[in-house]
Amino acid sequence: MKFLDLAKVYIRSGGGGAGCVSFRREKFIEFGGPDGGDGGKGGSVWVEAVEGLNTLIDFRYQQHFFAKNGQHGMGSQCTGKDGDDIVLKVPVGTEILDEDEETVIADLTEVGQRVLLAKGGNGGWGNLRFKSATNRSPSRANPGQEGVERTIWLRLKLIADAGLLGLPNAGKSTFLAAVSNARPKIADYPFTTLVPNLGVVGVDGREFVIADIPGLIEGASEGRGLGDQFLGHVERCSVLLHLVDGTSSTLTKDYRTIIAELEAYSPELAEKPRVTVLNKIDALDPKTLSNRKRALEKAVEGPIFLMSGVAKRGVNEVLRALWAEIAADRATEEEDAPWQP
């Protein structure tokens, strides 16, 4: 199934039905009076987060969603039928943006969340509504209220606890495959990963979700390579795992390149907690490993982890460090959450 994380959608709610002008015409009823019914209400357009979806591919083949209009009122005090609502079903983690692609209308982060995007128009009143002591036979009725038409964007951001960062071929997909049941494509050429992947990992009896995104290169924030189009998928993460290729002769430059792209994309993302790892240590001799570890620690200005995703050396230590940051973030969210009796 093709991965799609951005879709443009055109929606329109239904217009209300017009009220009816009608008078009773039965035999033997001398003063029949008005009996025009109201128009029905137009259908509304909703969006709902549901289980079982992980892409917006359905919205590539259908971009227009128009709710039904309400039926006009009829005589004999018959009210028109309401128009049917339309529900757009999207994956959990979908943001609803206005046409400018900046204004956030809603952020659906839980299953079952439901948001009204376009309200259906109210039906018009029939002439029965206008009957009064001074106007016994009104001959006017209201038209129905028009529906709402708008253009919106759907943007999917994967729900994950930790996000993987690094240059192409830093070993992100290998690490994800080693610690989870995810099976991303792994090869010895750049940009093997073309779409984000999710994997559930476990350590010390605890589980959390890791997101692997395509590798970044210098100038990604300006559109080079695959650009920064997938960085949104790690915005919701509690911690970022930055993998640095230990076999690279320019590993400090590699590290600074990723940090610069993070800062160019979003200062908030750059300030997230990070766990920095020197990867592929199984391919280095002890002296080279020691030298490169010191160089990376100097660039990071703090401690780093040593790991080999292929040989699974140091993997558990990295997972424990990630869990510590995730647990701290969850505890903070619980403290900030409003108290409920």
Measure Cα distances from 297 to 83, 252, 282, 303 in Å.
64, 9, 19, 6
Confirm whether residue 174 is marked as ligand binding: no
Confirm whether residue 172 is marked as ligand binding: yes
Confirm whether residue 309 is marked as ligand binding: yes
Confirm whether residue 226 is marked as ligand binding: no
Confirm whether residue 65 is marked as ligand binding: no
Confirm whether residue 117 is marked as ligand binding: no
Confirm whether residue 281 is marked as ligand binding: yes
Q: What whole-number distance in Å separates Cα of residue 87 and Cα of residue 54?
A: 17
Confirm whether residue 119 is marked as ligand binding: no
Confirm whether residue 19 is marked as ligand binding: no
Confirm whether residue 70 is marked as ligand binding: no
User: Minimal CA–CA distance to 265: which of 311, 308, 297, 224?
Assistant: 224
Confirm whether residue 304 is marked as ligand binding: no
Confirm whether residue 87 is marked as ligand binding: no
Confirm whether residue 104 is marked as ligand binding: no
Confirm whether residue 130 is marked as ligand binding: no
Confirm whether residue 57 is marked as ligand binding: no
As a three-state string, the secondary structure of 117-160 is: EECCCCCCCCHHHHCCCCCCCCCCCCCCCCCCEEEEEEEECCCC
Long-range pairs for 177-186: beta carbons < 8 A, 24 or more residues apart: 177/309, 178/309, 178/310, 178/312, 178/315, 179/210, 179/315, 179/319, 180/210, 182/212, 184/212
Confirm whether residue 193 is marked as ligand binding: yes
Task: Report the side by side order of strands in the sheet with 104-108.
Answer: 64-66, 6-12, 149-156, 94-97, 104-108
Give the DSSP H or E segment for 300. Answer: helix 286-300
Confirm whether residue 282 is marked as ligand binding: yes
Confirm whether residue 338 is marked as ligand binding: no
- Give yes or no for a contact between 306 and 243, defined as CB atoms under 8 angstroms apart: no
User: Minimal CA–CA distance to 279: which of 233, 239, 311?
Assistant: 311
Confirm whether residue 190 is marked as ligand binding: no
Confirm whether residue 191 is marked as ligand binding: yes
Provide the annotated binding site: 166-173, 191-195, 212-215, 279-282, 308-310
Provide the annotated binding site for Mg(2+): 173, 193
Provide the annotated binding site for GTP: 166-173, 191-195, 212-215, 279-282, 308-310
